[in-house]
Amino acid sequence: MVDLHSLTTFGVPATADTLIHADTPEILLSALRTAHGANTPWLVLGGGSNILFTKHFSGTIIRNELHGIHIVEETEHHVIIDIEAGENWHTIVTYCVERNWSGIENLALIPGTVGAAPVQNIGAYGVELREVLVSVTGYDIPQDTIRTLSNEECGFGYRNSIFKQELKGHFVIMSVRLQLSKQPQLRTNYGSVEMLLKHIPIAERTIRDVYDTVILIRKSKLPDPAQIGNAGSFFKNPEIPSTHAHEILAEYPSAPIFPLPNGKTKVPAGWLIETLGWKGYRNTDTGSGYAGVHSDQALVLVNHGGAQGKEIQDLAESIRKSVWQKFSILLETEVNIL
Ligand SMILES: Cc1cc2nc3c(=O)[nH]c(=O)nc-3n(C[C@H](O)[C@H](O)[C@H](O)COP(=O)(O)OP(=O)(O)OC[C@H]3O[C@@H](n4cnc5c(N)ncnc54)[C@H](O)[C@@H]3O)c2cc1C
């Protein structure tokens, strides 16, 4: 039995039968073939920043530790790079910003690996990975072959992709190809980013300015997993019919709702949770008191030190129930619960 508690950002107690560090494609493929052939449960783990273990994992954890960056094509306008899946996402963002390659600067400081980034189509501050992703290459387990999926084939949506749907448990991402621009069109329309940049004239703003601003905002808003266990946003922001949103507005005229191009309306899950008084809650009455809701960010569930994964899961369920009872909205979890 192996201890996994330090391999996830929630830091809850977690164990599995076996742990394999896959730092070469051969080790990765061999581990996957063995587990698949023996019909043993397996899971590929990246940085563990979007996972909550709630019980012993009776199978093999394969830690993706493939490293490397290769330039595939470079012109005066753009650069195309292949990045191995085990690279740290933020390190790659910094690497690109240092070279003045634009496209992912808004995604600075998102924890985790490059290989997990397409799984939920990571997004922040008005940008999603799918906007720069050319293709994904990985191991197709049932077909026992390495194949490449184009951007369209990845089926990207809001915090969603084919890797969370049809290919879940069938495909392991080994590398990601991105196209970045050498003639940046900075994306600063996200409220807080624009506000902090407004002292710099638009024509003088750089990729580095956006990168630094995003880091500044994230450090001031989001709890650092090194200080307090968490996995970022626990729930997705729900999209509801506009008639439903207007019913909420009738009761809460200042509710922050956002009409979407698809005709639906986005309601921040954090606002729903905060409105119901969960912000800063700790499960002292029902459990150890170590599972809670962050005191500044209602969307972030936290481990104050000694919480079990099951306690965080139970807390998430209580929050879902209360949001359903009050607003008739069923929150969907963003974190993978095992
Ligand atoms: C403080 C904090 C802030 C965050 N902010 C954001 C944010 O702004 N935007 C955002 O989108 N997310 C955010 N997240 C969530 C998280 O960082 C991302 O989802 C990240 O991409 C997860 O990467 P990981 O390597 O840690 O994945 P893991 O947690 O290790 O794995 C996540 C899932 O992907 C699967 N997986 C991992 N690697 C592979 C692979 N190579 N092939 C196939 N499947 C794989 C795993 O099996 C699992 O199901 C945040 C998390 C934290 C802790």
Q: Does the pLDDT value for residue 198 go beyond 90?
A: no
Quick one: which atom of ligand 1 is closest to the CA of 224?
Answer: 1
Question: In this predicted structure, what is the pLDDT of residue 194?
Answer: 84
Q: Are 56 and 15 in contact (CB under 8 A)?
A: yes
For ligand 1, the distance from its centroid to the CA atom of residue 122, given in whole angstroms, is 8
DSSP state letters, 131-142: GTEEEEEEEETT
Where b means 16+ CB within 10 Å and e means fewer, 173-200 reads bbbbbbbbeeebebbbebeebeebbeee
Q: Which of 21, 23, 110, 214 to mutate to test the pocket of ligand 1 (most atoms within 8 A of CB)?
A: 110
Tokens of 211: 């990168």
Q: Which residues line ligand 1 (CB under 6 A)?
A: 9, 43-51, 64, 85, 110-113, 115-117, 119-120, 122-124, 163, 172-173, 222, 225, 230-232, 336
Rounded mean pLDDT, 271-283: 97
> 214 Cβ partners below 8 Å, 6+ apart?
105, 106, 107, 108, 109, 124, 125, 193
Q: Are 98 and 142 in contact (CB under 8 A)?
A: no
| Nearest protein Cα to ligand 1, atom 37 | 116
For ligand 1, the distance from its centroid to the CA atom of residue 113, given in whole angstroms, is 7
Give residue 58's pLDDT band: very low, low, confident or very high (50, 70, 90). Answer: very high
Residues of CATH 3.30.465.10 domain(s) within the chain? 69-221
Question: In this predicted structure, what is the pLDDT of residue 190?
Answer: 82
Give residue 159's pLDDT band: very low, low, confident or very high (50, 70, 90). Answer: very high
Q: Which of 20, 23, 50 to mutate to test the pocket of ligand 1 (most atoms within 8 A of CB)?
A: 50
**Active site residue ranges:** 159, 233, 334
E runs forming strands in 225-273: 229-230, 239-240, 258-259, 265-266
Residue 272: closest CA among 314, 231, 330? 330
pLDDT in tens, 262-271: 889 999 999 9
> 76 Cβ partners below 8 Å, 6+ apart?
182
Question: In this predicted structure, what is the pLDDT of residue 262?
Answer: 86
Q: Are 297 and 222 in contact (CB under 8 A)?
A: yes
For ligand 1, the distance from its centroid to the CA atom of residue 231, given in whole angstroms, is 8
Torsion region of 126: left, alpha or beta (phi above 0 gives left; psi -120 to 50 gives alpha): left
User: CATH for 2-64?
Assistant: 3.30.43.10
Quick one: which atom of ligand 1 is closest to the CA of 50?
Answer: 29
Global pTM reads: 0.94
Tokens of 292: 């809670």
For ligand 1, the distance from its centroid to the CA atom of residue 319, given in whole angstroms, is 22
For ligand 1, the distance from its centroid to the CA atom of residue 114, given in whole angstroms, is 9
Residues of CATH 3.30.43.10 domain(s) within the chain? 2-64
Residue 101: closest CA among 81, 128, 117, 121? 81
CA atoms within 13 A on the CB side of 214: 27
Quick one: which atom of ligand 1 is closest to the CA of 64?
Answer: 41
Give residue 201's pLDDT band: very low, low, confident or very high (50, 70, 90). Answer: confident
Q: Are 41 and 35 in contact (CB under 8 A)?
A: yes
Q: Does the pLDDT value for residue 143 go beyond 90?
A: yes
Tokens of 37: 């052939």
| Nearest protein Cα to ligand 1, atom 21 | 117
Q: Does the pLDDT value for residue 197 go beyond 90?
A: no
CA atoms within 13 A on the CB side of 276: 19
Return the SS3 of 331.
coil
Question: In this predicted structure, what is the pLDDT of residue 147?
Answer: 97
Q: Does the pLDDT value for residue 191 go beyond 80?
A: no
DSSP state letters, 84-109: ETTSBHHHHHHHHHHTT-BSSGGGTT
Q: What CATH number does domain 69-221 carry, 3.40.50.300, 3.30.465.10, 3.40.50.150, 3.30.1330.10?
A: 3.30.465.10
**What architecture is the 229-337 domain classified under in CATH?**
Alpha-Beta Complex (3.90)
Give residue 118's pLDDT band: very low, low, confident or very high (50, 70, 90). Answer: very high
